[in-house]
Structure 1
Amino acid sequence: MTLEDIKAAVDAGQTVHWANTGYVVHKDRLGQYLITYLPNGSCIGLTDRGGHRLNGKETEFFVA
């Protein structure tokens, strides 16, 4: 999935995962897209600080 695909899916209410179902992409109340590891709640940004490069490969993101 491209960055645009991921954001559109999250905005549409779909559940987007990264690498496995333990990681979920969501949008916080500030409008930031984050990847959260469900077992312990740790999270990172979906992209680098510039907002252009994914923190992960496009092929690793999926809707489930």
Structure 2
Amino acid sequence: MTVGDIKAAVDAGNRVHWVNSGYVVTRDDLGQYLITFTRNGSAIGLTSRDGTCLNGEPDEFFTSESAEVCHEVF
């Protein structure tokens, strides 16, 4: 998935994961896209500061049904 694909999917209400279902891409109240580890709430930005380089490989991101995730994002 590209940065644009990921942001569009999150904005459309789809659940986007990175590497496994324990990592969820979210958008916070400031409009920042974050990769959050659901077990402890630790997060990093979806991209580098320039907003173009993903913090992960494009093929590591995927969408899923929200029922697959067992942990809430805090």
What is aligned with 2:55? 55
SS at match of 1:22: strand
1:10-34 C-alpha deviation (Å, 9 max, x unpaired): 0000000000000000100000000
SS at match of 1:62: strand
What is aligned with 1:9? 9
Q: Once superposed, what is the RMSD of the aligned Cα atoms? A: 0.3
What is aligned with 1:46? 46
In the alignment, the residues of structure 2 paired with residue 25 and residue 33 of structure 1 have an alpha-carbon distance, to the nearest angstrom, of 7
Between the aligned residues of both structures, percent identity stands at 66
In the alignment, the residues of structure 2 paired with residue 56 and residue 39 of structure 1 have an alpha-carbon distance, to the nearest angstrom, of 19
Unaligned regions of 5+ residues in structure 1, if any?
none
TM-score (norm 2): 0.86
In the alignment, the residues of structure 2 paired with residue 2 and residue 46 of structure 1 have an alpha-carbon distance, to the nearest angstrom, of 11
Say how many residue pairs are matched.
64
Unaligned regions of 5+ residues in structure 2, if any?
65-74
